[in-house]
Structure 1
Amino acid sequence: MPSAALPPVDPDLLQELFDRLPDVVFFIKDRHGRYTHANQTLVQRLGLGAREAVIGYRASELFPARLGDGYAAQDRRVLGGARIDDQLEMHMFQNRAAGWCLTSKQPLRHDGEIHGLIGISRDLAQPDGRHPGYARLRRVLDHMEAHYGEPVRMQALAELAGLSLSQLERQFRRVFQLAPQQWLTRLRIEAAMQRLHGEDTIASIGQLCGFTDQSAFSRQFKASVGLTPRDYRRLNPAPPCAPT
């Protein structure tokens, strides 16, 4: 017997459900990129007291420019018909510190037309050290941390763990919430952020952190951090030398 069709899900109900998840940001936006729904996690991380202070505004009006402009650019892509699935990027947490999240967004359609978008951003949790495969995956992680600046083959990592490529991918996601390639990207971006406080050229920093060329480095850095390496350096200059 065929199942009966379910009615459309009430966005207010979704919002209420996501209010109960402190490690997930949930939102719905209209065709102009303005929030129509936002869970309490998002409200709190913006430092606002009520949901009404979010509704009707765009991300670029609520977040610091380095984050808001990047989110707005994502919104334009999604409202143009694209999907974003598990984009690794930095977000602002409740203490205003930055942390890593996985963001997914997709268009909302009605009668074939895009009327808005819906999305979530999930905080990356601590690795599951109780997983039976943790020890062998830790060897993979140690190898990536020691060699992130070099070409790293996923097949070589699988062999290091004694797993097939698909087993490595599946177990790594289970323990670290990321694919191995995403974790490698995270290591490279974090290393680049540190080096950008120094005096090395941006091109040399990209090479030292494992990127094939400056264009690839800038593209990935902006996708993850919300700024180009050059803009990040300008906003986070190297500390002055101590007087002698």
Structure 2
Amino acid sequence: MPLPHVPSVALNNGTEIPRIGFGVFQVPDDETTTAVAHALDAGYRSVDTAAVYGNEAGVGRALAASGIARDELYVTTKLWNADQGYDATLRAFDASLAKLGLDHVDLYLIHWPAPARDLYVDTWRAIGTLVADGRVRTAGVSNFNPAHLERLLDSGGLVPAVNQIELHPGLQQRELRALHAAHGIVTEAWSPLAQGAVLADPVVTGIADRHGRSPAQVVLRWHLQLGNVVIPKSVTPARIRENLDVLDFALSPEEMEAVAGLDRGLRTGPDPDTLD
């Protein structure tokens, strides 16, 4: 059975990112290797981890064992808040790269703006250095609200290629997505299924019934049609494959509008203005 071809989206630095990646948030390191191996077998080529997840080594083991050429893989990791600041960022990146067992990452993100620390502009400068050195292919941010993003843009230097944010039908982040569009920043959705909180909604289940799909597949398809990159997470092989099987159907304009009506400011994770 041929593997699904996951389409990519162009980034503002001339590279591309797969539209669907595999997330490993809250997966223990020893389980991560098996989960990532299942994802690679299913056809995923993009894997998203972070220093604070404690499973970069597990991701690295799976990548090394896969036999898949490095240039076919897309690896994202993230800098933790306690490691912000110019010199600390460079040290933390070295540690992440060693755990992954790689000589570069495809995307490196500031995990949170951590505004009370007030170090994200210096941190961004350090990531620019890593890009110049060729050890980071693409620089981005995560959980940056409009004010954080505007400050970074005003500081000069690189324009982030990606902002990875909590985004799902219950929290649609329209203001932030408009700002991304204005600056050529790709929106990447973490918790794209709201940790399951939106999957029992009658709008979603009704669309799923009409298409003969699962509610999760409907929500992931909604993301793709909005233009978002998504990183669903599962450790169950059948669910891992199901989350990738969203490329051969489409929601109608009316169905897209119905899902758009579910926005209710539902956060399943921290508020970027207060997490430090």
Give the TM-score taking structure 1 as reference length.
Answer: 0.26
Higher relative contact order (CA 8 A, sep 6+): 2
Give the TM-score taking structure 2 as reference length.
Answer: 0.23
Bigger Rg, which one: 1
